[in-house]
């Protein structure tokens, strides 16, 4: 059988074994031009870090609560001055209230306009909360009731930990305790006669409760973040991770959610990564496996092969025998490919009648042998879906090389497809191996076709 040799720029006729469209040269290394990095210099909201956007949303809606709290304190101050129970100057309270409100409004307006809140803005907001609460206690509350301020401090601490994290919560705790002790010292300096033993006891209880809350809630949120990360990876088709429920010494509701995810993970992976008709992996599953194998090959310097398979004249099968018969052929081809593939190979259906095989740690010769076996097995099989009335064949294209870096996935796909098209152009029912001249021949043939048609 005469076939087209792809080793030179000009095709020539040579003697070859049936079904082969090219010799078995070792493909050259893949030369990849890195993709241009996207431009992140834009000031649009979408380009801002996610945590800054989240902080902005929280600060904006919390500003309403802060202003409402300031108005409540203002009303309370007016009432206390009317009934003459406050000795401090009302003007001092007015300046404290005005300063707190202006800081809140200014930060909220800037954040709302720019769509982000830098860390110093969050720190400034929490600092203004602590200063405002302590100032209100100094101006409006009798020293013997100062311990009630600790409850308000715990509320601020809770909001800080819940929305901004443990690091800032520790800062708020330290600053509030220091401010409270300063408040007590000032009161005693004025003759209030507060007992330091009692006050220190209250502060100790406050600190213990605060530390317990911060540590416990931080652990809770950290474990919940791990589960969110697992779901985000699952959304991208990566089900390799599982929740480490054994690490939870005291199981709680988060542990139950993690265990539930571990139970449904295999089913989710099967639903998301498997093509229901052929039983092979789908395109998403192939891309994930290909990404892993490319990374591994780039680290180890091993070779990697990708085989593209297309059922010849599949449209004729559909038109002649119907789509149910065509689906049956797809199922049988998928089953055959899985049987022919070796342990560790990945078989995927990537289109209507298109399949791909990923062969880790396989050179061109090994990939060629497997591709040839695929072609021969399909050609010899009597397909039950069409009762063996017509022969079914496949065209196969493959690319193999040592992976120089991880940016070669697109090139592997493209070159496997180019080899597949060469096999189909060469008469179908054959195997074609990608070589650098393959693309040159295709371009030359396209140019000649244009000259013939005059378009």
- DSSP-based three-state secondary structure for 48: coil
CATH entry 3.30.70.270 includes domain 276-453: yes
CB count within 10 Å of CB 240 equals 11
Contacts for 310 with CB less than 8 Å, ≥ 6 apart: 353, 354, 355, 394, 395, 396, 420, 424
* Higher pLDDT, residue 192 or 178: 178
For the chain, domain boundaries: 48-224, 232-273, 276-453
What pTM was estimated for this model as a whole?
Answer: 0.57
- What pLDDT score does 445 carry? 52
- What pLDDT score does 449 carry? 54
| pLDDT for 19 beyond 70 | no
Residue 293, Cα to own-chain centre: how many angstroms?
19
Burial 324-362 (b: 16+ CB within 10 A, else e): ebbebbbbbbbebbeebbeeebbbbbbeebbbbbbbbeb
- What pLDDT score does 448 carry? 52
Among the listed residues 357, 392, 421, 376, the one whose alpha carbon sits nearest the alpha carbon of residue 22: 421
| pLDDT for 83 beyond 80 | yes
The per-residue pLDDT of the chain, averaged, comes to 83
Task: Give the tens place of pLDDT for each residue, 238-271.
Answer: 787 888 888 888 788 888 988 888 888 888 888 8
The band of 324, judged by pLDDT with boundaries at 50, 70 and 90, is: very high
| pLDDT for 353 beyond 90 | yes
| pLDDT for 152 beyond 50 | yes
Contacts for 434 with CB less than 8 Å, ≥ 6 apart: 27, 397, 398, 399, 415, 416, 418, 419
User: And the tokens for 75?
Assistant: 């009303």
């Amino acid at each position: 059988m005469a076939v087209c040799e792809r080793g030179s720029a000009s095709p020539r006729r040579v003697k070859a074994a049936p079904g082969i469209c090219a010799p078995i040269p070792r493909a050259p290394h893949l030369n990849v031009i890195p993709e241009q990095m996207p431009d992140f210099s834009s000031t649009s909201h979408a380009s801002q870090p996610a945590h800054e956007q989240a902080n902005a949303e929280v600060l904006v809606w919390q500003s309403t609560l802060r202003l409402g709290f300031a108005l409540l304190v203002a009303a309370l101050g007016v009432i206390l001055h009317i009934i003459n129970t406050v000795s401090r100057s009302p003007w001092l309270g007015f300046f404290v209230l005005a300063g707190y409100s202006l800081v809140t409004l200014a930060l909220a307006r800037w954040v709302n306009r720019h769509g982000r809140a830098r860390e110093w803005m969050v720190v400034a907001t929490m600092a203004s909360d602590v200063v405002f609460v302590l100032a209100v206690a100094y101006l409006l509350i009798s020293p013997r009731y100062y311990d009630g301020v600790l409850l308000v401090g715990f509320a601020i601490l809770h909001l800080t930990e819940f929305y901004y994290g443990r690091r800032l919560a520790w800062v708020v705790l330290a600053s509030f305790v220091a401010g409270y002790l300063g408040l007590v010292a000032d009161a005693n300096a004025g003759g209030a006669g507060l007992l330091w033993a009692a006050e220190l006891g209250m502060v100790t209880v406050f600190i213990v409760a605060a530390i317990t809350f911060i540590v416990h809630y931080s652990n809770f949120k950290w474990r919940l973040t791990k589960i969110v990360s697992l779901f985000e990876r699952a959304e991208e088709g990566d089900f390799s991770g599982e929740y480490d429920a054994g690490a939870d010494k005291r199981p709680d509701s988060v542990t139950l959610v993690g265990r539930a995810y571990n139970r449904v993970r295999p089913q989710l992976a099967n639903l998301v990564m498997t093509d229901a008709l052929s039983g092979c992996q789908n395109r998403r599953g192939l891309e994930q496996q290909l990404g892993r194998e490319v990374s591994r090959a780039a680290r180890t310097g091993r070779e990697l092969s990708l085989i593209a398979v297309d059922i010849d004249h599949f449209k004729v099968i559909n038109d002649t025998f119907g789509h149910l018969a065509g689906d049956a052929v797809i199922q049988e081809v998928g089953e055959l490919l899985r049987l022919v593939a070796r342990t560790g190979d990945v078989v995927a259906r990537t289109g209507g009648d298109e399949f791909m095989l990923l062969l880790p740690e396989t050179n061109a010769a090994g990939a060629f042998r497997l591709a040839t076996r695929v072609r021969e097995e399909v050609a010899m099989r009597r397909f039950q879906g069409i009762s063996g009335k017509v022969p079914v064949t496949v065209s196969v294209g493959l690319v193999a090389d040592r992976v120089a870096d991880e940016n070669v996935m697109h090139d592997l796909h493209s070159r496997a497809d180019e080899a597949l098209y060469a096999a189909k152009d060469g008469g179908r029912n054959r195997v074609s191996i990608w070589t650098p001249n393959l693309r040159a021949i295709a371009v030359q043939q396209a140019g000649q076709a244009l000259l013939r048609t005059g378009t």
